């Protein structure tokens, strides 16, 4: 009988997400044949698509579609478990197809997008079939559709890990491109101060007061110091307040740049793949030790 190694168990577990002991039993039953063991697990535990759906998908890509006249567009994020799958041609096509559907069909939410026709089925059936084929979870996370007040411009960076869609009123193509690149690099939270959540400002104010107090500043000055800190924070996190990354003097803000060009930004959307998703890190060696200890304790 073929020796069942830890690396074999790990490989089968990664393919199926089945418990390690089940993987070892399947490999033993299959005489070490990986494909047969996978088949045994699929019979026992269901197909890979249903098992993979429990795993965290925090990699992926951003896809953008802009109509020919630049007046309508969408930005879309789909996640996968690994960067390897995020480079798969079928995965990338699904992302592009979904971005197009968002722009053309204007679905209300992810569930509505999933139900739209695509290929020989729907977006959801296409996604599910691809999960089953590749053996890795992938999930449609979010999208934004924009009907522009001006003209849309976009920028994709880092292997489609960062995507920007900006609606520029006035200006020219070069300004639009520069703005999109600036947003990708500087990652503003909002267009101006009105878009910054009050709780973030309250947090910055509290931190500033405590820091000033610990530094021995007079109580009468704390509010003034805090207000100065908040204003600096707003310059850092709002697009209009940020210093333009290509400013020759290192001082020109985006607001000043737009004024000089006779232009304005109606809106922008920035997607960073996996932002806010907690990535699960598996310590395989620790898991093996825990399983072994549990097995020994049951004897």
| 84-119 pLDDT tens trace | 888 999 999 999 999 999 999 999 999 999 999 999
pTM of the model: 0.73
Q: Helix and strand tally (H, E) in the chain?
A: 13, 8
| C-alpha pair distances (Å), 291 with each of 14, 70, 214 | 16, 57, 49
What is the H or E stretch that residue 168 is in?
Answer: strand 162-169
Instruction: Return the exposure string of 144-176: e unless at least 16 CB atoms fall within 10 Å of the residue's CB, then b.
Output: ebbebebbbbbbbeeebbbbbbbbbeebeeebb
User: Model confidence over 225-254: pLDDT tens digits?
Assistant: 999 999 999 999 999 999 999 998 889 999
How many CB atoms within 10 Å of residue 209?
A: 17
User: Model confidence over 128-165: pLDDT tens digits?
Assistant: 999 988 888 899 999 999 999 999 999 999 889 999 99
Residue 298 in this model has a pLDDT that exceeds 90? no
Distance separating alpha carbons of residues 200 and 206, to the nearest angstrom: 10
User: Model confidence over 26-80: pLDDT tens digits?
Assistant: 899 999 988 888 877 766 665 444 455 555 567 899 999 999 899 999 999 999 9
Which among 24, 26, 21, 20 has a CA at the least distance from the CA of 43? 26
What the block records as the tokens of 93 is 């096509």
């Amino acid at each position: 009988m073929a020796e069942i190694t830890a690396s074999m168990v790990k490989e089968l577990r990664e393919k199926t997400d089945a418990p390690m002991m089940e993987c070892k039993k399947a490999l033993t039953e299959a005489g070490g044949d990986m494909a047969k063991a996978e088949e045994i697990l699929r019979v026992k535990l269901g197909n890979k698509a249903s098992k993979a759906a429990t795993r965290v998908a925090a990699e992926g890509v951003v896809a953008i579609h802009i109509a020919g006249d630049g007046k309508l567009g969408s930005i879309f994020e789909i996640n996968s478990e690994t960067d390897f799958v995020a480079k798969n041609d079928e995965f990338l096509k699904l992302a592009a197809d979904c971005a197009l559907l968002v722009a053309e069909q204007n679905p209300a939410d992810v569930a509505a997008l999933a139900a739209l026709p695509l290929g020989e089925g729907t977006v959801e059936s296409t996604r599910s079939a691809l999960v089953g084929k590749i053996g890795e979870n992938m999930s449609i996370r979010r999208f934004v559709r924009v009907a522009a007040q001006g003209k849309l411009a976009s920028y994709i960076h880092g292997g489609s890990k960062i995507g920007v869609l900006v609606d520029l009123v006035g200006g020219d193509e070069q300004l639009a491109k520069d703005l999109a690149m600036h947003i990708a690099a500087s990652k503003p939270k909002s267009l101006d101060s009105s878009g910054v959540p009050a709780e973030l400002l309250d947090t910055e104010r509290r931190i500033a007061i405590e820091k000033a107090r610990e530094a021995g500043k007079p109580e009468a000055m704390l509010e003034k110091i805090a207000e100065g800190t908040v204003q600096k924070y707003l310059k850092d996190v709002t697009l209009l307040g940020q210093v333009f990354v290509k400013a020759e003097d290192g001082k020109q803000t985006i607001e000043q740049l737009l004024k000089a060009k006779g232009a304005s930004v109606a809106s922008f959307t920035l997607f960073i793949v996996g932002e806010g998703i907690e990535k699960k890190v598996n310590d395989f060696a620790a898991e093996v030790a825990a399983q072994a200890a549990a097995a020994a304790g049951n004897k």
